[in-house]
Structure 1
Amino acid sequence: MLTSPEKGLLPLLSPVLISLLLLCLTACGGSDDTSTNQTGTDTNQPGTPVTPPTGGTDPSTDICDSQEGEINWQALMTQDCQLLSQYRLFQEPDKPTAGPNGPGFSYQLSSQLFTNYAHKYRIIFLPDGSRIDYHPSDTFDLPVGAVLVKTFALPSDTQLTGEANETLVETRLLIHRENGWTALPYLWQGGEARLAIAGANQAHSLTRQGEQLEFTYHVPSRAECKVCHQRASDGGVQIYPIGLKPYLLNHEVFVENQTVNQLEHWRDQGRLNGLPQHGAPDSAPAITDESGDLTTRAKGYLDINCAHCHRAEGFASISGLRLGFYVDHTSYQYGICKQPPGWDGGEKGLSYDIIPGDGEHSILLYRQMLDAPKDRMPPIGRSLSHVEALTVLQSWIDSLSPSLGNCQHGG
């Protein structure tokens, strides 16, 4: 049974890695991130490992204030505007959850990246005539000029849906400029979203299963966005989108008063190249979808919440833990009887990422319930634990046969 409702995902960084992470989180992200906070104090520190895209970043230029055209494409490609509304992405500037201008269209992931129960509204903008390139097992390729918009709204009660029960908190942009992707976080206050390069903390409350929870919601800084989105390659370290993968997009959605397969709809609308006509990709149902296969639900959740760091090119590569959807979940690299490098096991003194048949003593689950910065997983992105998902993950680990590995001493 779960014993701590508010305690961490993305297992298993050593204290050394956590220290490095904390250093990165204070970094400015490179030459295009020079910024000050609202009081005018310099918020930047050197040291981020990410090579940022170049481009104009002076928010005082006339480009951000231009009124030409439906969407301010020139500003999107060259400027970090102070107000989200200056990009003119939405028909109603104070409603970023619907009504995108021009070529914008919404999309949904089948398994969600957890952020304090926030409801996320995702929209893609593609330049005229461009398409997304399909990838059978990883993130799709998006053309230069593409813009990904993700708006976070916190519910008053986790069991209620609809905008009437939500509070806008932040909108994040990922913009594919000529020299790579750049991340811009915007904080909503007073009906307006303002650029928050240094991030922000806000007090919030919500009701979960009848319990009132008070917590601090953290809007990530630009550098923190890069930590999760970064990938190392021969050309250096760059940032990329996370969620646009076939198994997270291959499901039915409601569009224009009809239910359609999301990927097939994109293909039919001329938005997606390369989707196979036969042999449809796998689908990862929501972890709380009881109609889905338990292993597939667990692996989809771990993929979207963990695999962007826990992959060979990711920030947590040195941990040796690989949590991608297509990694063999019965293998050592997926955590079976694997000891994380350097972590002390917490108060329980645990030893292994996953002990087949014993979720309670598996670090993979345990660190999703911890709060201390050196222990919590993911290290950024949440203040509350996703107790509904943890219950399912424990059931999944408990269902694994102990014969999969030799975990000596039990935990």
Structure 2
Amino acid sequence: MTFNKLCPLLLTVFLAACGGGGESTAATPTPVTPTPTPPPTSSVCDAGNGDVNWQALAKADCDDLAQYGLFVNELDPTNNPNSPGIFYTLSTELFSNYASKYRFIFIPAGQTISYIDQQTLTFPTGTVLVKTFALPADTQVKEPQNETLIETRLLIKRDAGWTTLPYRWQAGKATLAIAGGRQSHTMNHQGDSLTFDYPIPSRAECKVCHQQTDSTGQSTIVPIGLKPWLLNTSLNGDNQLLTWQAQGLLTNLPAINTIALSGSPDNQQVSLQARAKGYLAINCGHCHSDSGYASVSGLRLGYFVDHTGFSYGICKQPPGWDGGPRGLDYDIVPGSAEHSILVYRQQLSEPKDRMPPLGRALTHTEGVELVSQWINGLSPTLGNCY
């Protein structure tokens, strides 16, 4: 029997369970051969045969990640996905305490992804996105053999829409962690020893970041990283989008040179502006959008938002925040990262002050430097904040 599990969603708690009954037969004085009782119906989670368990992915929140049959070696979610799993990467990543991330996408046979310019790609029902997080002992040596598996997150597009499932790795096994958790870890980062508690998000917290409000006012879950300008990068020497097109997985792809680019903080082949805006978009833009969780803030940090305007934070005062210990006034002060709240909150660690508010226990020094460099290079004439 399978028990359905639903996370608490901030203020409301929903509980769902299923039950069954039995039946007894009165004894008879004459011995008879009993009719064999059929064995209980096996859980769909246990119906795998070594391949991807599509039936379970579509219907069940399995307790054990291995029950979905996503990887050849169920103890290693960093490589060798079962067919039709494909490894992919992003040009700009969400910072997660220097964790390495191993991403895979599974598209049902005969289905395709549709390209949409400046938006998240459109995926067919049955799509599974898999992202495993592993913490290195040294941030300069990011290889699976030198890392500790922490969590694997699934984003599955079922008939009712996208759903999130967080799994925590312990003792060589990944089990469903509806309530999330914390994992203590120590790593070396450029000569500094960092000890911290890595936050594994609960299912409710997954929704906070992934939710968007549609035109009818309904909240839906959507992928964050599967956008053209983040996928428009090379993997094994080939452009990922072109590879997906050649494999028959991606339709409506325009000329590749018309698609925007973003890059990691240290990618000098991409402009400083593209790198900074790409970083803010992937780390902040999903919430700071018209339909995101932080829409009420009025701050819009999407990749294609005009960065010279008030909505991008130029000389904009944030509602509901007092400026922190330094009493700063504006989200972005052109020419002065030191006086910009946006940079300041990247460095704060208290839950009520830090940004992003979830999934971060450490300050991303490289991200702070990137955004600071970009803001310092903005012309002060963009806004007269003082």
TM-score, normalization by structure 2: 0.90
Task: Give the aligned partner of residue 205 of structure 1.
Answer: 186
Question: 2: distance between equivalents of 1:390 and 1:216?
Answer: 21
Alpha-carbon distance, 1:32 to partner: 5.8
Task: Note if 1:159 corresponds to 2:140.
Answer: yes
* Residue 312 of structure 1: how far off its partner (Å): 0.1
Deviations along 1:275-308, whole A, 9 cap, x unmatched? 0136530110112212321111000000111110
Higher RCO, Cα 8 Å, sep 6+: 1
- Contact conserved, 2:165 with 2:176, CA < 8 A, in 1? yes
Quote how far apart the aligned CAs of 1:64 are.
0.5
Residue type of the partner of 1:237?
S
Q: 223, 241, 247: which is aligned to 2:229? A: 247
Whether the aligned pair in 2 keeps the contact of 1:55 and 1:78 (CA below 8 Å) is: no
What's 2:199 paired with?
A: 218
5 Å-filtered alignment, 1:94-133, equals 94-133=75-114
Contact kept, 8 Å, 1:48 with 1:223, in 2: the verdict is no
Instruction: Name the residue aligned to 2:26.
Output: none
**CA displacement 1:36-90 (0-9 Å, x = unmatched):** xxxxxxxx476369x9xx999x9x9611111346111111010000000000000
Residue 397 (structure 1) aligned with residue 375 (structure 2):
yes
> After the TM superposition, which segments of 4 or more aligned residues of structure 1 sit over 3 Å from their partners?
31-35
Change (3 A) 1:344 1:203: same
Change (3 A) 1:266 1:348: same
3-state SS in 1 of match to 2:347: coil
Tell me the residue number matched to 2:329.
351
User: Which whole-Å CA distance do the structure 2 matches of 1:33 and 1:397 have between them?
Assistant: 45
Pairs aligned (count): 362
| Structure 1: segments with no counterpart, 5+ residues | 1-30, 36-43
Asked whether 1:233 is paired with 2:233, we answer no
Counterparts of residues 15-34 of structure 1 (less than 5 Å): 33-34=5-6
Partner of 1:47: 11
Deviation at 1:234, TM superposition (A): 3.1
Whether the aligned pair in 2 keeps the contact of 1:187 and 1:196 (CA below 8 Å) is yes
- Percent identity (aligned): 53
1:45 and 1:105, CA in 2 relative to 1: closer, same or farther beyond 3 A? closer
For the structure 1 residues 277 and 402, does the alpha-carbon distance in structure 2 shift closer, same or farther, using more than 3 Å as the test? closer
> Which residue matches 2:48?
67
Q: Does 1:330 align with 2:308?
A: yes
8 Å contact from structure 2 (residues 211, 222) kept in 1: yes
Give the partner amino acid of 1:390: V
2:158 equivalent to 1:183: no
Question: Can you give the 5+ residue segments of structure 2 that lack an aligned partner in the other structure?
Answer: 21-40
Q: How far apart, CA to CA, are the structure 1 residues paired with 2:255 and 2:348?
A: 45
- Whether 1:82 and 2:63 are equivalent positions in the alignment is yes
- In the alignment, which of 130, 149, 172 is matched to residue 130 of structure 2? 149
Letter in 2 for 1:154: L
Query: Which one-letter code corresponds to 1:384 in the other structure?
Result: L
Alignment partners' CA distance in 1, 2:206 and 2:132: 14
Whichever residue aligns with residue 356 of structure 1, its letter is P
Aligned partners of 1:353 and 1:359: how far apart in 2?
A: 10
- Alpha-carbon shift at residue 364 of structure 1 (Å): 0.5
Offset at residue 393 of structure 1 (A): 1.0
How far apart are 1:369 and its partner, in Å?
0.4
What SS does structure 2 have at the residue aligned with 1:295? Answer: helix
